[in-house]
Chain A
């Protein structure tokens, strides 16, 4: 086994900006995918007005 590497990060920032850019891109893409699928679902309901899928509201909040 190679000897244990003693070096630890020294006076350095823990996150790399490149990693941050990758993660932010992934977040943006995931958000746009959700939006696109969400839009497809709304559009689908809109295109079939005769079989309106409008869901019943779950429960009406009772006044306290």
Chain B
């Protein structure tokens, strides 16, 4: 209630009456406890600007005094510490003031060594939150905070120690983000990077390495576990990303001392440390270490301990992810060792499910390295059949418990296909196609007796539709291999329609993605499937709740328009009705709306003059959306990105519509031309516009002149901005933009001399 009424100034006496409960000595502890809880919740909901500063100060004073050991019971102190946690954002003004901030920090640090473990834990939660909210204010307290967290990590209860590690992980998050925005030329950043991690490095790293030795026996089999060694290793990885090369000499002695020890904890900790620091340091620093250690790692895949094998497989995956990039000229994999590497991976994929899943991850990154690496992609080709066979066999395993291993195997299969060299491997992929189709067919005949069965069937169908999508896309990407898909298209489509008929939305999304790829491959022949497919297309366009399904379906409408051209007309009344409904819905996620405008362009381009019946509805929606673009807050980065998408898609819609009408009824668009030019001018005046928006804007200007011809002469004459805009585009380094601007210049030039 307070969150509604306080901002409207409708409950002015609330804060004072709550504070009275805290200041009167005779009030019972239970009332104070409840009051603190209430104050915490109220502070969480409102802004400090909703109260006068005196009230803000009084609230925080009451909360912080509630943490005082001498005056209050453990219950009240716990409630006060939780209230402070909730009020940290609210305390913004007080954190600006040195004295007040130091007082709050002193109280939190004192509370972090309370006798009661739950109070200590909440105090550390406050420190974690302060680390990210008030990073730039922490400098004076860092020495004390290091000691406090270090003692907690070394000797406190796990719940407290985990928070202490999280404090450092949060500092890393802040510094990684600051580095991303740092200007490498000036060397400074705003707000400043205090380099706390670098300064604490020599003490912080040994502390984290110690935690790695505190593993639990079955942590790799149980997803619900989160313990000290996991948190410590994760933090070590973040530290590596923060400081780069400097971490290597601090970690290598630990690895060397532990990697061969009898106790599996030591071997695993050493491997985990190595895997954790692979992101951050430079390739030059890591390459010799990885080259020296790769053989050892491959042998460790036969370690007697499951946990060691799991972490080793994960580390191999990290090595392939980060140090195997043939396209950029570096890789730990060569023709000399690829056979050995693959033979170890193929053997280990038969290991227990947790290890096999990590092996799938390693193969995923090994294959990914060859994407865009045309000559060296052949390195994997001789092994492709074997890799695919092992992955399918892994997907078929029944000892996975849940479907995680199966999903990993299929996802790895997808990457292996995507990154393969199509010219060399099309026969192999061709043979895989009926295997996957057959598996999908089998899922349709499964006996479903429980919801669990149904869920498993759905997961499997989703995975198989995913593989089919990847195969369709791969084989239809070249003229030499497209026929393979065309030959099987009827059967594939029949399968998808049966999947739609029996399944829920998760599978619909996967099947829809695959159908988009199939429509592109089939071209005009896709018309044969439209009658049966159309109801599912409508279902997708109406799926507001699972907006991803809706979004993908909108994309598929575009694919179908390009495939069917004017034959899509018979379905357009329904499609346009749903698209316009989607645009008008407040329920639908906003990210779906820009693709809908682009889709208008696709439809118009396909059906040409027949778009006339929709044009007033479509353009009205586009004009409304262009008004939203004009109101975008330039300080809101996320909204700015959305605004760019919206602008680009509105221009794409106009382009499609104008080109669609050009040869038969261009005059339909005449009434809308002035508004369109005004919108282009508005976008032109925005200096922060995205380049993709510029391209779409300059193209649509040409489309306007091209489609409406001499009718736009006066309009352009009154819009001098276009000359400057074209000038700017013609000066660009982007060849595509220059080409479009040149074309537009030609189109407007033709109008002007007419």
Contact = CB atoms under 8 A, between A and B. Distances in A.
A28 to B, nearest CB: 7
Contact of A25 (B233, B517, B743): B517
A40 B605 CA distance: 8
Given A37-B652, A51-B750, A58 B743 contact: no
The interface residues of chain A, by DSSP majority, are classed as helix
B747 A53 contact: yes
Interface string A25-39: 110110011001100
Interface string A11-49: 101000110011011101100110011001100110100
Contacts of A44: 659, 662-663, 706-707
B609 interface: no
A27 B655 CA distance: 19
B230 interface: yes
Nearest to B554: A29
B11 interface: no
B345 to A, nearest CB: 16
B226 interface: yes
Interface string B719-754: 000000000001000000010001101110110001
Contact of A21 (B220, B365, B470): B470
Contacts of B559: 29, 32
Interface string A50-64: 010111101000000
Interface stretch (B25-33, B162-170, B298-306, B574-582): B162-170
A1 B162 contact: no
B85 A55 contact: no
A21 B513 contact: yes
Interface in B567-620: 598, 601-602, 605
A44 B131 CA distance: 60
A55 B169 CA distance: 58
Interface residues of A, number: 34
Nearest to A32: B562
B309 interface: no
Interface of A: 1, 3-4, 6-11, 13, 17-18, 21-22, 24-26, 28-29, 32-33, 36-37, 40-41, 44-45, 47, 51, 53-56, 58
Nearest to A11: B314
A7 B226 contact: yes
Contact of B659 (A3, A9, A40, A51): A40
Contacts of A45: 706, 743
B643 interface: no
A13 B365 CA distance: 9
Contact of B738 (A28, A37, A51, A58): A58
A39 B415 CA distance: 32
